[in-house]
Every structure is written in C-alpha cells, then in structure tokens.
C-alpha cells in the first residue's frame, strides 16, 4: 500500500519579527525562528520530535494479550 498524507503548515509573524510555524492539523507541533526558511526547517524537526514522543508514550504501557509488533517506518520529506 502506498499512501500520502498532506498537512497544512501555517507561518505567522510574531513579536520581534520572528516567524511562528505550526501544523494546522496537529496543534502540538509548533515552533518559531527568525526567518521563514529557518521556521520551515524547525517545523520538520518539531514534527519528528512530536512523533517520537508518541512512540515513547506507547512503549510505556504495553498492551495485554497476544500482540504482534512489527517495525513501521515513516519518512518525512519537507517541500
């Protein structure tokens, strides 16, 4: 199966001329930088860290019963 997810990146000017970047569909993914270009790079990093935090919280409470766990890889390419 091949799939594609498309999210909306929102860039807004905030105080001192900085740019805040966030993913509209994932309110927890937000960052800021002095320029739009830097904010774009940091947004990808913020998404990566957010996904890592979800993975870490899932491992804290393993499911009960017979469960098969297999690796699942996500590759993020920012445009």
pLDDT of residue 56: 78
**Which residue do the tokens 């799939």 mark?**
3
Helical H runs in 1-79? 36-60
pLDDT of residue 74: 73
Cβ–Cβ under 8 Å, residues 60 and 78 = no
Dist. CA 13–CA 35, nearest whole Å = 9
Enter the tokens of residue 74: 């996500």
Cβ–Cβ under 8 Å, residues 73 and 55 = no
Please name which of 50, 56, 48, 36 lies closest in space to residue 76, comparing C-alpha atoms. Answer: 48
Confidence of residue 79 (pLDDT cuts 50, 70, 90): low
Q: Is residue 75's pLDDT more than 80?
A: no
pLDDT of residue 6: 84
- Digit-coded pLDDT (tens) for 15-69: 999 999 999 999 999 999 999 999 999 999 999 999 989 887 766 566 677 777 7
């Amino acid at each position: 199966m091949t799939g594609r997810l498309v999210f909306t990146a929102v860039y807004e000017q905030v105080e001192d001329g900085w740019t805040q970047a966030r993913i509209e569909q994932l309110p927890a993914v937000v960052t800021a930088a002095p320029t739009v270009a830097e904010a774009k790079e940091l947004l990808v990093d913020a998404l990566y860290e957010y996904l890592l935090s979800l993975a870490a919280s899932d491992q804290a409470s393993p499911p009960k019963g017979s469960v098969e766990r297999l690796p699942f890889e996500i590759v993020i390419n920012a445009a």
